[in-house]
Structure formats: C-alpha cells, structure tokens
C-alpha cells in the first residue's frame, strides 16, 4: 500500500475507549511541541497507519496537554511510542528510530497473545 494516513489525536478523556478498550492493537505516539525527533518520526507513523490500516490503530497524544495518561505509562521523554494490544503495553520505543524499529514494534503488537 502506498500513501500515508493522518493520525488521530487521543486525549486523557478518550484514551481508555480509543486505545485500552480497542480490539485492534494500537501504537500511541506521545509527542510534544519543540520536539524535532517527534517531527522526524511522524512520516514513518503515518506510513505505518496506511500500511496496516484495518489491523492497527496509530494515534498521537500531546503529552503536556494530557499529563494523566503520560504519567500513568511513565512517559518522560518525547517522542515515546507505546504499542498496546488487548489493553496492555507490549512494547516501547523512545526517541527517533529507523522505520525497521517501528515495524518490529508493530509486529510485536500484532502477535501479542490474548490476555488470559
């Protein structure tokens, strides 16, 4: 698949329903203003959202504007990308990384076993 998708914003208020309760695995990009690395990974995340459409949700959360969720998951540096599957964190990347690292994170989320 070619092209890229826009990333949906989630907030402290919508995080539980949009990510934790989702049947679809998700990547959450915790980003901030004045963060060059956040801008650097944005095209990679948009490409992954397009490539994995229907199998993976890729959303973004402004960490400073949503401090409760960022604190809950120990986000202290931007960008932090957390992979969620079935309501739990299954992987994490901090900082700018190559696309291959994000693909590996996606694969981990898609392969996560059901909670039992």
- Domain ranges across the chain: 8-111
**pLDDT (mean) for 4-20:** 94
Catalytic residue among 38, 82, 83, 93: 38
101 catalytic residue (yes or no) = no
Burial zone of 2 (CB within 10 Å; 0-12 exposed, 13-18 middle, 19+ buried): exposed
pLDDT per residue over 13-38, tens digit each? Answer: 999 999 999 999 999 999 999 999 99
88 catalytic residue (yes or no) = no
Catalytic residue among 35, 37, 94, 110: 35
Confidence (pLDDT) at 112 = 86
Long-range contacts of 91-98 (CB under 8 A, 24+ apart): 95/37, 96/37, 96/40, 96/41, 97/41
Confidence (pLDDT) at 1 = 46
Confidence (pLDDT) at 5 = 83
- CATH superfamily assigned to domain 8-111: Glutaredoxin (3.40.30.10)
The helix-helix angle for 36-51 and 99-111 (nearest 10°) equals 50
Average pLDDT score over the chain: 94
pLDDT per residue over 41-61, tens digit each? Answer: 999 999 999 999 999 999 999
């Amino acid at each position: 698949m070619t092209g890229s998708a826009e990333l949906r914003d989630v907030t402290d208020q919508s995080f539980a329903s949009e990510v934790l309760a989702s049947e679809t695995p998700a990547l959450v990009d915790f980003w901030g203003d004045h963060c060059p690395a956040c801008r650097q990974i944005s095209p990679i995340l948009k490409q992954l959202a397009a490539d994995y459409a229907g199998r993976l949700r890729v959303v973004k959360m402004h960490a400073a504007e949503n401090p409760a969720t960022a604190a809950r998951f120990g986000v202290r540096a931007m960008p932090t990308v957390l992979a969620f599957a079935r309501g739990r964190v299954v992987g994490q990347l901090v900082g700018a990384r190559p696309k291959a690292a994000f693909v590996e994170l996606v694969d981990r989320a898609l392969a996560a076993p059901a909670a039992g």
